[in-house]
Amino acid sequence: MISNGEHREVAWPIEGMTCPVCQGRVEQALAGVDGIVDSSVSLLSSRATVVFDPTATSEAVITSAIEDAGYGVGSSAPTASHTHDHADGDHHHEQASSASLWRDSEAMRTYIACLFFFGGLTLQLTWNIEWINVGWWSLGPSAVSFLAAAVVGGANFFGSGFKALTRLRMDMDFLMAAAVMGAIVIGEYTEAAAIAFLFSLAELLESYAVTRARRSLSELVRLAPETARLKTAEGDHTVAVEVVNIGDICSVKPGEKIPLDGTVSQGSSSVSEALITGESMPADKNVGDRVFAGSLNEDGYLELSVTAVSSDTTLAKIVKLVESAEQHKSETEQFVRRFSRYYTPIVTVLAVSVMVLPSLVFGASFLVWFVRGLTLLVIACPCALVISTPVSTISAITSAARNGVLIKGGAALEALADVKVVALDKTGTLTKGELSLSDVVPLNGMSADESLEIAALLESRSEHPIARAVIQEAQLRQIELSEDRIEQFTSLPGRGVKAVIGGVEYLLGRPELFDGATVPSPVNDLQASGKTVVLLGTEGGVTAAFSVSDTIKDHAREAVRHLKLVGVEQVVMLTGDNEATAHSIADASGVDVVLAGLLPEQKVEQVKALERSVGAVAMVGDGVNDAPALATARVGVAMGAAGSDAAIETADISLLTDDLRHLAYAIELARAGRRVIRQNVWASIGVKGLLALGVFPGVVNLITAILAGDMGASLGVTTNALRLAKITPHAADDH
């Protein structure tokens, strides 16, 4: 997003950022550069995104600031959505980083340190002699092996530890380097080797854990096809998807992926859209149907007319949304960040006093207490705590995206977990929304075809499902529609439409529009049978009645049951339709409460009232005429959002299919996410607290602190978070 003509937004991949502390350092480095308008650093996608004023600073200044903080900067990419190489560049970077993790120089040093460390232990048992012995220093074969382990393993962090020292900053690298040197000085070679080896191993495993969380995201990107077969006058050409334009024709053979969003222009096939919508059943696609990039063409040959360039496809939007989800921080996450800001300096002061006070005041052994103080500092690193929340949020959001549910960030996820009431719009949410005109009742002498013609003309400018039904019927009866006859069209949201045709002003819509006029008797009968009745008329009176019928979705009843199973207290149906029609749909679907006859502004009032009386409301709608109610509710959920950019962008949650059961899944996932976050926060605080207490009596030594407090805690919270990926929409079926 380029905010305006003067500011530029650029994203860089950052190398070597493995811990939230690193993330904080990059953030700090960026804060120190003048001319940066806005910046965000993502640990999980290893990226810094910066909006800056090019007249005040430059890319080079920004990258050197990041490099000065001790991190590598990859080649930049402008983030404007029409720039294609962005997602692609990233994707190569991701692949490279996860593949080389176990083979880079730091990993090699860790392996060698491991060999020397265990070699030393073996020598201690088998060839335990001393060559030299001066005071507390003695040198033998095992000591030499331990020293080698300390030097090789230490090489991983000595450099950056020294760099930190020159900037008067206490970081893990510096502390560990100091601990290794300290141990060598007092002749504890075994300790020195163990710390150097274990700390290197801890770092390696930690970056593996972060890479694993990152991987599910990059897998989504990788699923997008890279090439398309473009049809040209000279035949088919395989080209990169980035060069295909809107309106181009691409061909797709059986077993191939659909390269870009488009409409089928030739052929028919069944297409699996699991990647986009989470729907495992393939859908039949014929000429005129929409297809999405990344879906799989199963058995037929298709040609499609492209409707979106590669950076604008629904899949690209999903990936972008999931990537940026990390930036919409939840309240818990903000709290954890604030907490660690005060916590770290306090613990540092405490640790330094533990190092010096006992020997100064009580004359205790300086060496013993110095090592205990160091141990406290290792435990103090808030890595596990700070990483616990984002890693859980990302894990939940990515897993939801793979099941056809888009969750816009940690805040939306947290709100979803709180939902007490689900308010459902009727048309298109509980019903299929594929309305058909079932009855035309002419009144006052106008013929059926004549009234249908006027009604279809009035509806020709409306987006409402009723409009579609009316026009469809007029076409079926081969009624000519000359749209130039229509003047002064006005849409009356939630009520109907109004326009002047042939000099006469007509109204079409809900019966209340004709207040005062006597409602003709067939209307009541039609409504009682579950149909929606709309009236056509003028100032003078009603001229015709139309009834449209809709069918309830196959899974509506099951979906409502699932919502109750995952703990939703009340399921409410909100509709602008009349009581009788509303009740017949409500009975069939099993909702608790029906609120009918509502105008759009009354839907907003009802959402507010539910929020006051019961609790947080999730409002589900198609987003076309329910936008105000969706925006009012704590959580706005858009249904069937694939292909509707507006819905995806405005809703907190988007269900990409029309399957309402996915909402219960999303709520279950959000609740599980909240549990995991709480477990992670308390477990990491608890483990560190216990370890810290154990330092004073000497129960917890430096090695235990590295193993349990640093490596163990970080791996523990990450693994716990990855459990969220196991929740699927089908799990609810087992209840």
Catalytic residues: 425
Structure tokens at 216: 């599910």
Look at residue 400 and give the partner it binds from ligand ADP, Mg ion, none, a contact being a CB closer than 5 to 8 Å depending on partner kind.
none
If the CB atoms of residues 322 and 467 are measured against ligand ADP, the closer one turns out to be 467
Give the binding range for ligand ADP (CB under 6 A) out of 193-201, 371-379, 464-472, 646-654: 464-472
If the CB atoms of residues 381 and 469 are measured against ligand ADP, the closer one turns out to be 469
Where does residue 349 rank: exposed (0-12), middle (13-18), buried (19+ CB within 10 A)?
exposed
How far, in Å, CA of 123 to CA of 70, rounded? 38
Size of the site for ligand ADP (CB under 6 A): 21
Q: Which has the closest alpha carbon to 637: 404, 435, 467?
A: 404
Q: How far is the CB of 626 from ligand ADP (least distance, A)?
A: 7
Q: Are 457 and 499 in contact (CB under 8 A)?
A: yes
Helix, coil or strand: residue 68: helix
Give the binding range for ligand ADP (CB under 6 A) out of 52-60, 220-228, 407-415, 461-469: 461-469
Look at residue 466 and give the partner it binds from Mg ion, ligand ADP, none, a contact being a CB closer than 5 to 8 Å depending on partner kind.
ligand ADP
Size of the site for Mg ion (CB under 5 A): 2
Q: How far is the CB of 419 from ligand ADP (least distance, A)?
A: 21
Give the binding range for ligand ADP (CB under 6 A) out of 75-83, 390-398, 458-466, 632-640: 458-466
Query: How large is the angle between the packed helices 172-185 and 366-380, nearest 10 degrees?
Result: 160
Give kind and range of the element (H or E) at residue 635.
strand 635-638
Give the binding range for ligand ADP (CB under 6 A) out of 102-110, 293-301, 407-415, 420-428: 420-428
Q: How far is the CB of 606 from ligand ADP (least distance, A)?
A: 11
**Does 659 help bind ligand ADP (rule: CB under 6 A)?**
no
Q: Which of residues 597-636 bind Mg ion (CB under 5 A)?
A: 625
Q: How far is the CB of 467 from ligand ADP (least distance, A)?
A: 5
Q: Are 673 and 413 in contact (CB under 8 A)?
A: yes
Give kind and range of the element (H or E) at residue 270.
strand 269-272
Alpha-carbon Rg for the chain, nearest whole angstrom, is 33
If the CB atoms of residues 203 and 550 are measured against Mg ion, the closer one turns out to be 550
Q: Are 308 and 246 in contact (CB under 8 A)?
A: yes
How far, in Å, CA of 693 to CA of 191, rounded? 21
Q: Are 333 and 322 in contact (CB under 8 A)?
A: no
How far, in Å, CA of 723 to CA of 717, rounded? 10
If the CB atoms of residues 534 and 638 are measured against ligand ADP, the closer one turns out to be 534
**Does 314 help bind Mg ion (rule: CB under 5 A)?**
no
**Does 508 help bind ligand ADP (rule: CB under 6 A)?**
yes
How far, in Å, CA of 620 to CA of 635, rounded? 9
**Does 425 help bind ligand ADP (rule: CB under 6 A)?**
yes
How far, in Å, CA of 45 to CA of 29, rounded? 18
Single out the residue of 145, 575, 644, 720 in contact with ligand ADP (rule: CB under 6 A).
Answer: 575
Helix, coil or strand: residue 159: helix
If the CB atoms of residues 624 and 664 are measured against Mg ion, the closer one turns out to be 624
Beta bridge partners of 296: 257, 272
Helical ranges in 566-655 per DSSP H: 579-589, 600-613, 627-632, 645-650
Look at residue 577 and give the partner it binds from ligand ADP, Mg ion, none, a contact being a CB closer than 5 to 8 Å depending on partner kind.
ligand ADP
**Does 375 help bind ligand ADP (rule: CB under 6 A)?**
no
Query: What does the per-residue mask of binding to ligand ADP show for 9-28, with x meaning CB under 6 A?
Result: --------------------
Structure tokens at 167: 């900037």
Residue whose CB is nearest to ligand ADP in the complex, by number: 576
Q: Are 435 and 465 in contact (CB under 8 A)?
A: yes
How far, in Å, CA of 456 to CA of 314, rounded? 33
Structure tokens at 72: 């590598």
* DSSP string for residues in 410-427: HHHHHHHHT--EEEEEII
Single out the residue of 65, 77, 220, 466 in contact with ligand ADP (rule: CB under 6 A).
Answer: 466
Give the binding range for ligand ADP (CB under 6 A) out of 43-51, 145-153, 178-186, 491-499: 491-499
If you ran DSSP here, which 8-state letter would residue 464 be given? S
Look at residue 426 and give the partner it binds from Mg ion, ligand ADP, none, a contact being a CB closer than 5 to 8 Å depending on partner kind.
ligand ADP
Q: Which has the closest alpha carbon to 416: 679, 624, 654, 724?
A: 654
How far, in Å, CA of 333 to CA of 387, rounded? 9
Single out the residue of 304, 534, 571, 672 in contact with ligand ADP (rule: CB under 6 A).
Answer: 534
**Does 644 help bind Mg ion (rule: CB under 5 A)?**
no
If the CB atoms of residues 316 and 574 are measured against ligand ADP, the closer one turns out to be 574
If the CB atoms of residues 173 and 473 are measured against ligand ADP, the closer one turns out to be 473
If the CB atoms of residues 625 and 654 are measured against Mg ion, the closer one turns out to be 625
Give the binding range for ligand ADP (CB under 6 A) out of 37-45, 288-296, 355-363, 506-514: 506-514
**Which segments of 432-495 are extended strands (E)?**
436-442, 486-492
How far, in Å, CA of 219 to CA of 645, rounded? 23
Q: Which of residues 576-635 bind ligand ADP (CB under 6 A)?
A: 576-577, 625
**Does 432 help bind ligand ADP (rule: CB under 6 A)?**
no
**Does 494 help bind ligand ADP (rule: CB under 6 A)?**
yes
**Does 462 help bind ligand ADP (rule: CB under 6 A)?**
yes
Give kind and range of the element (H or E) at residue 548.
strand 541-549
Q: How far is the CB of 89 from ligand ADP (least distance, A)?
A: 44
If the CB atoms of residues 190 and 625 are measured against Mg ion, the closer one turns out to be 625
Q: Which of residues 427-456 bind Mg ion (CB under 5 A)?
A: 427
- Residues with Cβ within 8 Å of residue 115, at least 6 apart in sequence: 149
Look at residue 532 and give the partner it binds from ligand ADP, Mg ion, none, a contact being a CB closer than 5 to 8 Å depending on partner kind.
ligand ADP
Helix, coil or strand: residue 331: helix
**Does 269 help bind Mg ion (rule: CB under 5 A)?**
no
- Give, rounded to a whole angstrom, the gap between the first and last alpha carbons of the chain: 44
Residue ranges binding ligand ADP (CB under 6 A): 425-427, 459, 462, 464, 466-467, 494-497, 508-510, 532, 534, 575-577, 625
Residue ranges binding Mg ion (CB under 5 A): 427, 625
